[in-house]
Structure 1
Amino acid sequence: MCPIWPLHLIIIYLLALCPLWVICQAVPDLTATFIPDGVTINMNEYTYVNVSVSGTGMQAGDEFTLSTAHPHLAEAEWNSTYQLTETDVVNSRFEGNMRVSAKFLGRTDVTLSGRRNNQPLAVKNNTMPVIVIRPERVIDTIFVTSVATFVSLIFINFGCAMHWPTVKEVLKRPIGPVIGMCGQFLFMPLMSFGLGFLIFPDDPAMRLGMFFTGVAPGGGASNIWTFILGGNLNLSLAMTSISTLACFGFMPMWLFSLGQVVFRNAQIVVPYTRIATFVIGLLVPLGIGLGMQRWTPKIARFMVRILKGFSTTLLLFIIIFAIVTNLYIFELFTWRIIIAGMGIPWLGYCAGYLAAWLCRQPHPDALAISIETGIQNTGIAIFLLRYALGQPEADLTTVVPVSCAIMTPIPMTCIYIFQKVQACMGALSTEESTRKCWKKTSHLEETRHSPQSSQPLIFTDGPTKV
């Protein structure tokens, strides 16, 4: 038996662990520090961040590289040297300065990595979050202000064109408004809820964007399209007013029930002030138009004459200006976003018209109900998303209501073009029939007065034979 048993076992273990201890002492123990530890940058801008790496085991020539998880959102590059010097090794500390450039909306991380002779070095705390948001621009304010002004003018025109006795008849027999209310506050929220799970099964924020668009009240553009396409304008105005007032109760009901299912962690704040402003902005110009109809009938008749052209111009202005001011958002468009934008209004159109047809409503009323059901106030949906989500998620999820706003007028535009072509064809057919009738009448007149076609009278001296 060994005389130093069992001490020899301890000695053997110590001799085996010594090389491992030496190797571990040679491995660098590095920790990165970012000042600040996270940045929020406006899109297409940049900022600088101080970076320091401290620890043991540094060697001259070691390199630190930067990378981002999503290069299309942001990029990071050194604004100083990224190689360790002898001074850095002596101080056991590397200090540098990096530039972070924001390219597009979203969240990403900047990662610092170490290398020694093409071999990776582990660095603790080596990531820094980057948030890219959209800056507030002057053109956005101009767009919102100009649209609000033009919409107020168009509702003054609607007031001039409104036939109050017809509105009273609509309210006495509210079949149309009831159908519109069911479509607006029952079908649209449930449809957008189900469609959101179908299109975005793994993206609750986008589902919230769809749901907020579905629970919004009808938009003012429904009245414009109803008038342009020959629907019942009085019914449309009555339904818009009723649905806007009713949304004070229905929106909170849906947002605090199914809305919590869609996105439980969202801090939902119902924008009562904005909805009230929308109601006032709708009713006040309408009242001004009704007053002009009563006290300045000549001006009111002039406003009615220019209503159709002014409405068409306003729609074109809103569509073109909205696209120009929000070109950046098209980078977010995918086939899912496009399907979501088409699904909400187009299914609303079909459901509204089908319900009106089943209830035996005349075509002008069915058209007004269909348009009122399908067109949503996407401005309120965007406002809700801004309150419910932080940046940049708020801007990212607004792509759903923006897509909806872009896809909404497409069916209406196609119907308008079809109506114009049909009217032109009808006019040409009528003109051709008139021309043919005129030619036939002229030919008959020429034949009746032509001397060659008249029978000569023959007089004889003899008695007439019977």
Structure 2
Amino acid sequence: MSPHGRPGWEWSYLLLTLAVGFASTHGWMAHFRPAALTLQMERGDRVQLKLENVAPSTLQQPTRYHFRLESVDTDLASVPGENATISLDVFNTDTRDWTGDIVVNGHFLGQTKIQVKLYDSQRNTSELPTNWSNDSTLDVKIKRPKRVVDDIFLGTIILLMSLLYISFGAALNLDVLRGLITRPTGPCIGFVMQVVGMPLLSYALGVFIFPQAPAMQLGLFFTGISPSGGASNTWSAVLGGNIHLSVLMTTVSNVAAFATIPLWTITLGQLIFERAGIKVPYGKIASYSSSLVLPLLLGLLVQKRMPQVARVLVRLLKPVSAFIILFIIVFAIINNFYLFYLFSWQIVVAGMALPGLGYIFAFLAAKLLHQNAADALTIAIETGIQNTGIAIFLLTTTLESPEADITTVVPVSVAVMTPLPLLGIYLYNRCWGNKRISEASATASEAERIAGAIH
């Protein structure tokens, strides 16, 4: 007997009755089969949906209640109007369930979810399934259709990257590398800023600019861990930097990338992969690093056995580097024009911030460590200019669609924004720098004339 005068079994029966009544009233469920769907852009597919355990009181009011299918992001995927609403008239009143096929159409790259809600038109409210399960929502992934031109693009990149690293191997000057031991300050500053500073900066910027978009964080991070770009040598020459230091830093940075890219990817990069829900592609990253070792060794062999061919390859180093960067960026834009639909103010800010802050921090570090103006400028250029071609190559070869397609927009943005500060410096020097030099020369000549007159 309970303290309130009722036998214990009566209380148990009452609680069980209430529980069953509550479940039958409020425990409707939704099940998608399958629970995940992969679509191509501008294509659709069918999935099975089962709605069950709908309350009898709800089924008795078909004019008041209805089920509706909604996409979290209708720009990516949607359910057409004829499938979007499910009337209670189609339900089996005995089993209180309904099973049928729905159509989902893919529109643009990305990932979204399709949800089922029970709408109350009288109260103008809606509710998600009360009894939630892993298949209560439909995970939809939309990717680009596979095209022959994509294979051509990837094959061309691999060929050009191999040629670039053969040229690097042929251009490696062991005597100059030995000089690092005697005068290592400048190259060491650039090396630390490039392989430590830029990855940390890209990670921090990614988290700050894209707090809710880990895929974009990944794109910026892969750009930050890429080595110096070949265009840095050209800009160093144009802006009056130390071209020998520039070539040396570019070479060392690209050779070190065999170790630094995998190292950063499996350490700090792993945090981004986890946030993005993507597995770290250890195998693909390892194969990338090892696949470029062979061209580098081949270049060293050419340098040793065929010096005349090596000299030709060295001459090709700059134009090949510039061509690779331009080819990858231009071809990526033309082949994937959808990238411009992904451009947002965050993408633009990220594209400007990574190289811009890289220039500033590296220049300040070089000046604080007493480097001359030419060397400080060169270190800044080498740090700020990333090989965005390698970043795009890494993203397209290590990630699956649509992640690879979406993240590519970040290195493209960086590539577009990187030259702007340098171009500004160049125009300033051309327009006002020469004028100041002329004025200084005129002042000096006038001073000499006056001094001559006095004497």
Tell me the TM-score normalised to structure 1 length. Answer: 0.66
Residues 1:40 and 2:38 aligned together: yes
Question: For the residues of structure 2 that align with 1:54 and 1:257, how far apart are their CA atoms?
Answer: 46
More deviation, 410-419/171-180: 410-419
- Please tell me whether the aligned partners of residues 241 and 279 of structure 1 are also in contact (alpha carbons under 8 angstroms): no
More deviation, 401-410/120-129: 120-129
Question: For the residues of structure 2 that align with 1:112 and 1:53, how far apart are their CA atoms?
Answer: 9
Equivalent positions of 1:285-304 (< 5 A) are: 294=308, 300=312
Structure 1, unaligned runs of 5 or more: 1-5, 8-16, 430-466
Instruction: Report Cα offsets for 1:179-209 as digits up to 9, x if no partner.
Output: 3212212322333344344434565554454
Residue in structure 1 matching 2:75, options 72, 77, 85? 72
**Corresponding residue for 2:385?**
375
Question: For the residues of structure 1 that align with 2:174 and 2:33, how far apart are their CA atoms?
Answer: 70
Instruction: Report Cα offsets for 1:65-90 as digits up to 9, x if no partner.
Output: 22112212210126569445578446
**Corresponding residue for 1:346?**
356
Amino acid at match of 1:351: F
**Corresponding residue for 1:112?**
116
Amino acid at match of 2:45: T
Residues 1:102 and 2:113 aligned together: no
RMSD of equivalent CA atoms: 5.1
Q: Per the alignment, do residues 393 and 25 of structure 1 end up closer, same or farther by CA in structure 2, a change over 3 Å counting?
A: closer
Equivalent positions of 1:20-35 (< 5 A) are: 30-35=28-33
**Corresponding residue for 1:446?**
none
Residues 1:276 and 2:290 aligned together: yes
**Corresponding residue for 2:251?**
241
The residue matched to 1:327 in structure 2 has which SS? coil
Q: Per the alignment, do residues 337 and 281 of structure 1 end up closer, same or farther by CA in structure 2, a change over 3 Å counting?
A: farther
Question: For the residues of structure 2 that align with 1:356 and 1:311, how far apart are their CA atoms?
Answer: 26
Tell me the TM-score normalised to structure 2 length. Answer: 0.67
Residue in structure 1 matching 2:335, options 315, 318, 325? 325
Amino acid at match of 1:274: Y
Question: For the residues of structure 1 that align with 2:260 and 2:23, how far apart are their CA atoms?
Answer: 67
Whose Rg is larger?
1
Q: Per the alignment, do residues 262 and 158 of structure 1 end up closer, same or farther by CA in structure 2, a change over 3 Å counting?
A: closer
Question: For the residues of structure 2 that align with 1:372 and 1:155, how far apart are their CA atoms?
Answer: 18
Equivalenced residues, count: 409
**Corresponding residue for 1:406?**
416
Question: For the residues of structure 1 that align with 2:23 and 2:172, how far apart are their CA atoms?
Answer: 91
Deviation at 1:411, TM superposition (A): 2.9
Q: Per the alignment, do residues 346 and 212 of structure 1 end up closer, same or farther by CA in structure 2, a change over 3 Å counting?
A: same
Amino acid at match of 1:410: L
Q: Per the alignment, do residues 135 and 369 of structure 1 end up closer, same or farther by CA in structure 2, a change over 3 Å counting?
A: farther
Equivalent positions of 1:58-457 (< 5 A) are: 58=59, 63-77=66-80, 82-85=86-89, 88-89=92-93, 92-114=96-118, 127-149=137-159, 167=176, 171=180, 173-201=183-211, 206-226=216-236, 231-251=241-261, 254-255=264-265, 258-259=268-269, 267-268=279-280, 269=282, 271-281=285-295, 284=298, 294=308, 300=312, 316-357=326-367, 359-361=370-372, 363=374, 365-381=375-391, 392=402, 395-415=405-425
Q: Per the alignment, do residues 83 and 208 of structure 1 end up closer, same or farther by CA in structure 2, a change over 3 Å counting?
A: closer
- Please tell me whether the aligned partners of residues 32 and 53 of structure 1 are also in contact (alpha carbons under 8 angstroms): yes
Q: Per the alignment, do residues 361 and 102 of structure 1 end up closer, same or farther by CA in structure 2, a change over 3 Å counting?
A: same
The residue matched to 1:72 in structure 2 has which SS? coil
Question: For the residues of structure 2 that align with 1:41 and 1:244, how far apart are their CA atoms?
Answer: 38
Deviation at 1:211, TM superposition (A): 3.7
